[in-house]
Structure 1
Amino acid sequence: MKATPALERTAKSLERTGETVATTVVSVRRRMDIAMLRWQARMDSRAWDRSLPWFTAVVLATFLSLLALARSQDLGIGYQLGHYLQAADLMDRGFEPVVSDLGYNLFADQGAWIFWPIAWALRVLPVAGTLLVLQSVALALGVVPIWRIARGPANLRIGAAGALMAAYAMHPSIHNLNLAGFHPEALALPALMAAYLASQRGRWRLVAVLVLLVVATRSDLGLAVAALGLLLVGEDERTAGWSLATFGLTWFLVMSFVVQPMLGDGGYPHLDAFARYGTGVLGIAVGMLGDPVGLVSDLFGRDGFDKVLLLLAPVLFLPLVRPRYLVPVLPLLALYLVADVPDDGFGNPQQDVATLAFVFIAATYALMRIGTPGVSRILVDRRVLTVIVLTAVVFFVRDAESSPYEEPWDWGRRSSVDVARVSASVLIGDDARVIVPPEVYPLVADRDEARVLRPTQGFLPGLDWPDRFDVVVVDVESMGWTASEARMFESRLILMDFRKRLDSDGVRLWVRRPGY
């Protein structure tokens, strides 16, 4: 049957419309590509190369600092900050920094010698704010070596380098570490990547300084330095590589099994994390070798899987394209995965520092591998770069502690419970021996005796509490107790001659000795 003239005209009209739309879309895309190339060409200059990463670092440092300070204001920052507040107070008064909540010298915990000069600076600076801002600035500085590696050894264009900086700035581990109290190893993250960059430029004295900074933040980061050395060996820098590997491994062994035990109770302070394999270093090693199935189960369990996913997925698993840049640090990552370390509420992001540095080094070279050579730079498809940034956004929203779902714009405003916690801390005397919830701990940590009251400690106070503590702060919301559990706990306090001095919004201040 022959089509009517009206239908033919309609079909031709639709065909012309489709062609017009397709032509318009192609034209718009072409204009966008040309505009993007023009912008990249303008930015692909020495002035932009020098200033853009530092400008990004300043913006990111400001953002992270504001988040950390706001979270500290509403008592949502990690309680580990209190350990360093107490240590700084003790060192300022000329005492050994024995943190009562840990039970031993602060330097016996992780061998964080970098805190020594920091403590001197804290004598004239506000302690909590300075530590939080210092950590935020250190984390933000990581964008600089990422940019330099991307633009230097990897020879990438502005777009690819910018996408990597964006992925770093939104990585959940960065934001979680920023809010998890204070951890000196945060200072090692930019230093470790900068050490690799300096090695590519043959600046070995700078490498030595940066490596010393890395190991001074945490003793087991000596294994990260050893991993960096092995990476350089794979790049035919054998002398420097083996020297770094030897130094890093030696530092880890000497600090962990000689110096830290001398400062502590005579043993490596973290052996308990491997207690399920045996007792003592030799017993644990034999236990791991004797139970390979259990070891593999711990490595590839749900928690380990989630940790690896959190590290790799926000960068689109790019490090798997260049695994040789990631493999050297896997033994240290495996050590963290099998360690039974209590979650501090933020996923222990301090353990991500070493792996994260290698993840971004590997991701940079992965883009170099999948890109195509241009006139002077490696070109990476903008669709790939767009997916990298979108993936980073997705995992930031999903997993970061400063995700929009956490409503960070409301941080810094104290609830009635927060006001009650602050009021309780103000009423505590300076010399009182205290045990308090995690939220209150940083407020009262600058004294000789201060401990954290953790929910895992059970619902009844210890029989020795009258001899150990003058003040107990009970926070029903923080502890997650029911009304009956709180009454049972407090009835024991009454029998121990503690008296209630404050009761507000579930926060109760119990005092045993007059004057406290």
Structure 2
Amino acid sequence: MGLRRRLDASSLRWQARLDTPWVDRTLPWAIGGVLAVLLATIGFAVQRQLDGGPTLAVWTQAAWNLENGHGASSSIAGGNVITGQWAFTSLPLLWLGRWIPMGPMLAVVQPVCLGLAVVPIWRMAREVARLRLGVTVALSFAYAAAPILYTANLSGWSAVVPAVPALAWASWFGQRRRWVAYGVCVVIAVASRADVGLLLIAFGLLGITSGDRRSGTLTAALGTVWTAAYLIVVAPPVPSGPLTSGEAVLARGEAPLAVLRDPLRLVTDLVLQPNVGALVLLVGPFLFLPFVVPRFALPAFPPIVLGLVGEEAVRQGLEPGPGADLLPSVLMLAVVPLALAAVVALARIGQPSVSRIRVDHRVVAAMVLATVAIFVQVAPASPFNEPWSWGGRDAVDGGRMQAVDTLEEGYGLTGAVAVSPQLTALVAERWAVHELPVGPPDRGWRPTVPAIILDTTAVDDDGDRIWSDSDQITVLANLRGLSYDVAYEGAGVILLLR
């Protein structure tokens, strides 16, 4: 007991020394800045090792098409990436793609957006809930180490990203009765993607039950009108296979609202084992405290339920390939409401002191340990995955780049091309890009494009090659019979021109 008292006293002294306005002004921005730099570093490393994936290819092609007067369409995704999911806040990025390469820009913008959400979470904990510094740091750490942030960061860009800081700041401005700033944040959030409208309905209901009837009613009404308009105007179908990894990018933006047309899925698909595991990953770092105050956790339910069920619909139709097993990026929308609900729960279980709410240090320690354990176990940037080694290039990467260079020299920069999913981001700046399966095409495959790049190096989940030597011989023989000639072959990458 004597040791415990000394530790408590030492903790209180240090918190008292750091419990100053200067720390509250600077530390949350520092935490958000570190998070942004870390995520940006990971994004640049992933792009350098040519793992940007189909998402980067889709947005790069949409930017190129917009610049060349074709609208924000993508043949890789199979539609318009802006109007298909009402991702209007992403449109300025496509315009900036005229002058700034999309890859580096997205590698910076997404981390900055996610880092900005730290500040309102901090202020809600310190100024509204009156929590002490230690527990506030633990909450900020739980948000910053949420595995979904790092999983979504690997994809390059998701249309829901601008809504994450917008919702966090809207919560803060709403508490301060700064309604103009609140309205701006709400508009930014709902214009990020159509499915954010359901989250706004939940935010509005929370505001109404908390006493802010006018703002809550207007917020819920905006979310209702926006969601209903999208379902009527766009009427997105439930994704069905077969889907390429590029088509899945747009399908993931449509699926959360599309599954409302099939209510049975909301019951059957939600309780599947991968979805239950995803729920644990989201709520575990907060010690499941948001469930203690379910009314305040209400805004997290729409993105969790519809996001997981919609992702299951996409997964059932998705061909094996890059990104097939990633968590849906829409789950990022749930992290901020869960963090804010945890703030309320900690304020309620804590003990009031003179000016702050004191939370048992064992609860804080458990939150930090849970955050670290979940991050280390499942986050892509876990030390087990050796993220410090990312960013390098091997012989296969060299073969891919050489094949693309040969294509541009012998065929041109803008002609139609069919490529394996590993190379779509490298050839995306053209009108027509057709994504091939990650494995061998069907025997009856008769391509019509003049250029084809095949990547035969893909492996399955067990590390076994998907392409066998006989598959490669058969496909090449079929293409030669269709008047294709091998223009480059090396490191398992083959370029054929006709």
How far residue 175 of structure 1 moved from its aligned partner, in angstroms, is 0.8
* Partner SS, residue 182 of structure 1: coil
CA 166–224 in structure 1, closer or farther in 2 if over 3 Å, else same: same
Partner of 2:290: 319
Partner of 1:397: 376
Aligned-pair RMSD on alpha carbons?
2.5
How far residue 461 of structure 1 moved from its aligned partner, in angstroms, is 6.4
Q: Per-residue CA shift, 1:82-126, capped at 9, x if unaligned?
A: 111111112222321220112222223311111222222232223
Cα distance in 2 for partners of 1:127, 1:475 equals 24
Q: Per-residue CA shift, 1:456-490, capped at 9, x if unaligned?
A: 78544632x22xx2222111122622222233333
CA 416–461 in structure 1, closer or farther in 2 if over 3 Å, else same: farther
Q: Per-residue CA shift, 1:410-452, capped at 9, x if unaligned?
A: 1111011111112112222202211222221111111111132
TM-score with structure 1 setting the length:
0.85
How far residue 286 of structure 1 moved from its aligned partner, in angstroms, is 7.5
Partner of 1:439: 422
1:471 aligns with 2:457: no
Q: Which of 282, 291, 306 is equivalent to 1:335? A: 306
How far residue 235 of structure 1 moved from its aligned partner, in angstroms, is 0.6
| Amino acid paired to 1:502 | Y
Name the % identity. Answer: 35
How far residue 201 of structure 1 moved from its aligned partner, in angstroms, is 0.8
Greater mean alpha carbon deviation, residues 343-352 or residues 126-135: 343-352
| Amino acid paired to 1:92 | E
> Is the 1:180–1:346 Cα contact (8 Å) retained in structure 2?
no
Greater mean alpha carbon deviation, residues 312-321 or residues 337-346: 337-346
How far residue 30 of structure 1 moved from its aligned partner, in angstroms, is 4.3
> Is the 1:188–1:217 Cα contact (8 Å) retained in structure 2?
yes
Partner of 2:198: 223
Alignment of 1:330-479 (within 5 A): 330-339=301-310, 340-342=313-315, 344-345=323-324, 347-429=326-408, 430-455=413-438, 458-460=441-443, 462-463=445-446, 465-466=447-448, 469-478=449-458
Cα distance in 2 for partners of 1:75, 1:283 equals 32
How far residue 347 of structure 1 moved from its aligned partner, in angstroms, is 2.1
> Is the 1:157–1:378 Cα contact (8 Å) retained in structure 2?
yes
* Partner SS, residue 435 of structure 1: strand
How far residue 269 of structure 1 moved from its aligned partner, in angstroms, is 5.3
| Amino acid paired to 1:410 | S
Stretches of structure 1 that go unaligned for 5 or more consecutive residues are: 1-21, 262-266, 274-279
Cα distance in 2 for partners of 1:422, 1:366 equals 52
> Is the 1:402–1:408 Cα contact (8 Å) retained in structure 2?
yes
CA 71–282 in structure 1, closer or farther in 2 if over 3 Å, else same: closer
Cα distance in 1 for partners of 2:269, 2:151 equals 23
Partner of 1:497: 483
Q: Per-residue CA shift, 1:183-235, capped at 9, x if unaligned?
A: 12112111111111111111111111111111221111111111111111121
Cα distance in 1 for partners of 2:102, 2:10 equals 48
TM-score with structure 2 setting the length:
0.88
Q: Which of 475, 493, 497 is equivalent to 1:507? A: 493
| Amino acid paired to 2:236 | Y
How far residue 332 of structure 1 moved from its aligned partner, in angstroms, is 4.2
| Amino acid paired to 1:196 | S
> Is the 2:351–2:359 Cα contact (8 Å) retained in structure 1?
yes
Partner of 1:33: 8
Cα distance in 1 for partners of 2:467, 2:50 equals 19
How far residue 493 of structure 1 moved from its aligned partner, in angstroms, is 1.8
Alignment of 1:75-474 (within 5 A): 75-258=50-233, 261=234, 267-268=235-236, 270=238, 272=240, 288=263, 292=264, 295-339=266-310, 340-342=313-315, 344-345=323-324, 347-429=326-408, 430-455=413-438, 458-460=441-443, 462-463=445-446, 465-466=447-448, 469-474=449-454
CA 282–367 in structure 1, closer or farther in 2 if over 3 Å, else same: closer
CA 458–357 in structure 1, closer or farther in 2 if over 3 Å, else same: farther
Cα distance in 2 for partners of 1:95, 1:172 equals 36
How far residue 150 of structure 1 moved from its aligned partner, in angstroms, is 0.7
How far residue 491 of structure 1 moved from its aligned partner, in angstroms, is 2.5
| Amino acid paired to 2:291 | L
> Is the 1:145–1:193 Cα contact (8 Å) retained in structure 2?
yes
